[in-house]
Amino acid sequence: MRVHEAPVLGWGALAHLAGAVPDVVPVLGDASVPTGSGRAALRIILEHLSATGVLRDRNDALLVPRWICQSVLHTAHRFSHPVLEPSPGVRAVLAYHQYGFPQDMDAVSARCSAEGLYLIEDCANVFGGTYRGRPLGTIGDAAIFSFPKLFPSLLGGALVSSDEALLERARSRCEASRRPIAGCLARWLWEVGHGSGPARRTRELGEMTYGTIDDRARPPKIALRAVAQAVRAGAIEARKRNYRAIRDRFADRPEYLEGLEVDAVPYIVPLFAPEDDLRRMESALRAAGVVTGVYHFDVARNVFEPRFVKCLWLPVHQGLDVDEVERICDVAAGAVR
């Protein structure tokens, strides 16, 4: 049981899906352009910032979160100098809504406005989430989405912005780009490698290839169809339901989920406890077949002033029903009685 990802469809199922599902794009609003991946969307944004003089050259800094995918850094390095700390050289900011839980956008937006910084929302773990009633991805100057984190699509993402010039650049790049067939293969190799321990070389090959393909801007229709089908089938509602089940199960231990929004649409749910307890829970869950781990979460929710604490990942993806989620919670709770 994969703790952090929705089930991935096999090639046979995807081939069937391509012919069975109408060609519709998930609705992110009129100010969105589907892309081949979240990184393709980021590349288009950074290209635009370079062309418009926001990023004058690669010496201008992009503030990035300390918890970030290495392939995102590869893309950022093409146009900027990624940094982990605020500095006078920062010209743009990538604010990551970690695991689907929003940054403190009041504080982040206010600082960006005061310092004249371009704000990019990293919504790779987000679909349908909000911040104080506002849809995530519509608060900053631009936003990137990555569909495979929440849906069985292998690839696909989106760029969202109210800047029509940026959207037109995205449409033009997507129209001119080749479809990311190589990216699909690389992503599949990455999935295979992570699904079986002995396939380390396969995983490394996939990571190497997938990490360098960010110029395939055009979205594969099969990925968009997979996302559309998952949304229509209730994937978002299932994640909310499973998150509620976790909150209900740990109602007597509010410290486990302290500070987490009750209305979030999580990628995964971070559980907070003393590290010794987290490690015992991790061992018990792994013994029960749940692939999880202890990682860091920014409880300050502020890319400028983060405060990371350790947490345990709990799954909420749509491949689980409430009974399975409750059993996972029972295993975790039983490890620290």
- pLDDT for residue 323 is more than 80: yes
What number is the average pLDDT over the span 103-112? 98
Using the predicted structure, report yes or no on whether residue 126 has a pLDDT greater than 50: yes
- Region 207-214: mean pLDDT is 54
Which span out of 34-43, 47-56, 204-213 was modeled with the highest average pLDDT?
Answer: 47-56
Per-residue model confidence (pLDDT) at position 248: 98
- The answer to whether residue 26 scores a pLDDT higher than 50 is no
Give the per-residue pLDDT at 70.
83
Please state the pTM of the whole predicted model.
0.84
The SS3 assignment for 312 reads: strand
| Range in 61-75, 146-160, 174-188 with the lowest mean pLDDT | 174-188
Q: What pLDDT score does 332 carry?
A: 98
23 pLDDT tier (thresholds 50, 70, 90): very low
Residue 241 binned pLDDT confidence (cut-offs 50, 70, 90):
very high
CATH number for the domain running over 11-229:
3.40.640.10
Q: Summarize the confidence of residues 263-273 as an average pLDDT.
A: 97
pLDDT (average), residues 292-317: 98
- Given a cut of 50, whether residue 278 has pLDDT beyond it is yes
Mean of the pLDDT values across residues 130-158?
93
Percentage of the chain lying above the pLDDT 70 cut? 80
Residue 220 pLDDT: 80
Q: Answer for the pair 317, 148: CB distance below 8 angstroms, yes or no.
A: no
Average pLDDT over residues 196-220: 58
Q: Could you state, in order of their start, the residue ranges of all structural domains in the chain?
A: 11-229, 235-334
CA 77, 137, 265, 220 dihedral sign is negative
Same topology between domain 11-229 and domain 235-334: no
The phi, psi pair for 316, rounded to 5°, reads -135, 10
Higher pLDDT pick, 223 / 44: 44
> Rounded CA gap, 222 and 290, in Å?
29
> Tell me, what's the pLDDT at 228?
87
Lowest mean per-residue pLDDT among 23-27, 130-134, 178-182, 268-272: 23-27
Q: Is the pLDDT of residue 240 over 50?
A: yes
Q: How much of the chain, in percent, has pLDDT values that exceed 90?
A: 67
Tokens, residue 243:
């998150």
Strands 32-35 and 294-298: unpaired
- pLDDT value, residue 201: 55
Concatenated DSSP letters of 259-288 = T--TT---SEEEE---HHHHHHHHHHHHHT
CATH number of 235-334: 3.90.1150.10
Query: Is 224 buried (19+), middle (13-18) or exposed (0-12) by CB count in 10 A?
Result: buried
Which residues, in sequence order, are CB contacts of 320 under 8 Å at separation 6+?
Answer: 1, 238, 242, 328
Average pLDDT, the chain: 85
